[in-house]
Chain A
Amino acid sequence: MDERVHCGTVLIRAPLSTTSVLDEAADTVRLTAPWTAVLILTALPYRFLQAMFFDQLLEVGSSASQYGNLLGATANLIVASLLLALWGRAVYARACRLAIARGDAPGRAAWRVPPAAYASYVLTASAMIFAGYLALYTIVGFIVTVMFAGLAIGTMELNERVGVFAPFRVMARYAKSIAVPLALVFIFFIALLVALVNLWAAFNLVKALMTAIGGFDAPRWPLLFGPGNRRFTLIVIAGAILLVEPFWIAAYVVFVRKAGAQESGDDLRAWFAELRRAS
Chain B
Amino acid sequence: MTVSLARCAYHTDRPAFARCMSCAKMLCQECATQWDGIWHCASCLGAKRGTRRQRSGAGSWIGAAFLSLMFLYLGARVMVWTSAFIAGLF
User: Which A positions have Cβ atoms within 8 angstroms of B?
Assistant: 15, 53-54, 57-58, 60-62, 64-65, 67-68, 71-72, 75-76, 78-79, 82, 97-98, 100-102, 116, 119-120, 122-123, 126-127, 129-130, 133-134, 136-137, 157-158, 160-164, 260, 263-269, 271
Determine the chain A residues whose CB is within 8 A of the CB of B88 once the complex forms: 62, 64-65
Complex: how many Å from CA A152 to CA B25?
23
Determine the chain A residues whose CB is within 8 A of the CB of B4 once the complex forms: 263, 265
Q: How large is the interface on B (under 10, 10 to 19, 20 to 34, 35 or more residues)?
A: 35 or more
Interface of B is mostly: helix
Find A64's partner among B60, B72, B76, B83 (CB 8 Å cutoff).
B83
Cβ-defined contact, A57 with B87, below 8 A: yes
Residue ID in chain B nearest A137 by CB atoms? B82
Cβ-defined contact, B64 with A164, below 8 A: yes
Among residues 74 to 88 in chain B, which have CB atoms less than 8 Å away from a CB atom of chain A? 74-80, 82-88
Cβ-defined contact, B79 with A133, below 8 A: yes
Cβ-defined contact, B84 with A76, below 8 A: no
Determine the chain A residues whose CB is within 8 A of the CB of B39 once the complex forms: 264, 266
Cβ-defined contact, B37 with A265, below 8 A: no
Residue ID in chain B nearest A163 by CB atoms? B60
Determine the chain A residues whose CB is within 8 A of the CB of B85 once the complex forms: 65
